[in-house]
Amino acid sequence: MIQEYISLLAAAIAFGVTALLGRSVIPWLHKLKYGQTIKDIGPRWHEKKQGTPTMGGIMFISGITAALIVCLPIYRHLQSSGQIASYYETQAYWIKMVAGIIVSLLFGAVGFLDDYIKVVKKQNEGLTPSQKMILMILIAGAYLISLAMLGDATITTIPFLGDVDVHFFFYPISLIMIVGFVNAVNLTDGIDGLCSSVTFFTAIVFMMIAGMRHMFGMNIFCAAVAGGCIGFLVWNFFPAKVFMGDTGSLFLGGLFCVMAYGVNMPILIPLVGIIYLCEAGSVMLQVAYFKLTHGKRIFKMSPIHHHFEMCGWSEVKIVWSFSLVTLIGGVIAVALAFFV
């Protein structure tokens, strides 16, 4: 029970710090004129969002980090003193968790650099795609190297099969998966409240799986992510008073992958992150089909949330619908996690 209270504390701190920061960060971003420049290729009605402060991701980055700084040492102390029994949380497990926090912050730093260039130049460019990709590959690669140094990195848990050693294939597959899904989370941040809402449900799913597997440190980690997302939604739900920017979306992308690897079940990433997969997949399909047919399109606009906007769906309806799909995928993932 103690660990459950610590998880609640982590969620409360992340929520409180994130929500309260909105009262000072948003006016500060307004003062600095760090407003979002709306892409010309986006839906025309998004033009009214021009000037809405961006880089708001620093709010939940601060909230989640504060929660982890406070709660993980408390839990670690109780664990080491024998007040909480845990069979999985070895020294390597804790190092792995710290590495996950660091890699998420590094992804957020790449996003911050991209946002900073955008707001200074007042245009939707920033880092070039190749620059951003190289940086993300380096960060993901460093994370995988840290896992390799801890030993047994290539052993992953698969439903119905248990712990399976996938040997060398773990590294290239993981590199592609991490970079791909961090980008996919970034693409999901296109309408008010969408990325925050979807990521909230992914955090709840991994929190439940961590609890089932008696990985209570990871349970606390996920609770903090969930609390930070809800705290940000106070300001980001339609109509948004602030956007997270790449600062926030790349940070959340890193967290999403780290949660999956933290519970040692990265195989569940496509299922829990089904919306992220659909968002990235819609872009790839649209581009490929456009080139093959010399100008024809599958969707009215991509990523796919814009397609539904063009079909007349409100932003709120899209957020609730995509969240429901995430929840369904998450329920299936939790059910599969029983069979390990």
- Does 43 sit behind a cis peptide bond, omega within 30 degrees of 0 on the bond before it? no
How much is the pLDDT for 151?
Answer: 80
Q: Which residue is it, tokens 């597959």?
A: 173
- Of all residues in the chain, the percent with pLDDT exceeding 90 is 76
- Does 129 sit behind a cis peptide bond, omega within 30 degrees of 0 on the bond before it? no
How much is the pLDDT for 118?
Answer: 82
pLDDT band per the 50, 70, 90 thresholds, residue 36: low
How much is the pLDDT for 226?
Answer: 98
Residue 50 vs residue 200, higher pLDDT? 200
**Residue 190 Cα distances to 164, 289, 338, angstroms:** 37, 22, 34
- Does 239 sit behind a cis peptide bond, omega within 30 degrees of 0 on the bond before it? yes
Q: Is residue 81's pLDDT more than 80?
A: no
Q: Is residue 290's pLDDT more than 90?
A: yes
Q: Is residue 327's pLDDT more than 90?
A: yes
Please state the domain extents for the chain: 2-269
How large is the average pLDDT for residues 165-177? 95
pLDDT band per the 50, 70, 90 thresholds, residue 123: low
Angle between helices 245-262 and 194-212 (to 10 degrees): 20
CB burial of residue 311 (10 Å; 0-12, 13-18, 19+): exposed
**What's the predicted TM-score (pTM) here?**
0.94
pLDDT band per the 50, 70, 90 thresholds, residue 122: low
How large is the average pLDDT for residues 74-85? 79
CA distance 284 to 175: 19
Q: Is residue 257's pLDDT more than 80?
A: yes
Bridge-based pairing state of the strands 162-165 and 155-158: antiparallel
How much is the pLDDT for 95?
Answer: 86
How much is the pLDDT for 185?
Answer: 98
How much is the pLDDT for 328?
Answer: 98
Tally Cβ neighbours within 10 Å of residue 93.
16
How much is the pLDDT for 152?
Answer: 77
Asked if residue 192 lies in contact with residue 315, where contact means CB atoms within 8 angstroms, the answer is yes
Which tokens go with 164?
A: 């399976």
What is the average pLDDT value for the chain, to the nearest integer?
91
Q: Is residue 263's pLDDT more than 90?
A: yes
- Return the closest-CA partner of residue 117 out of 109, 160, 40: 109
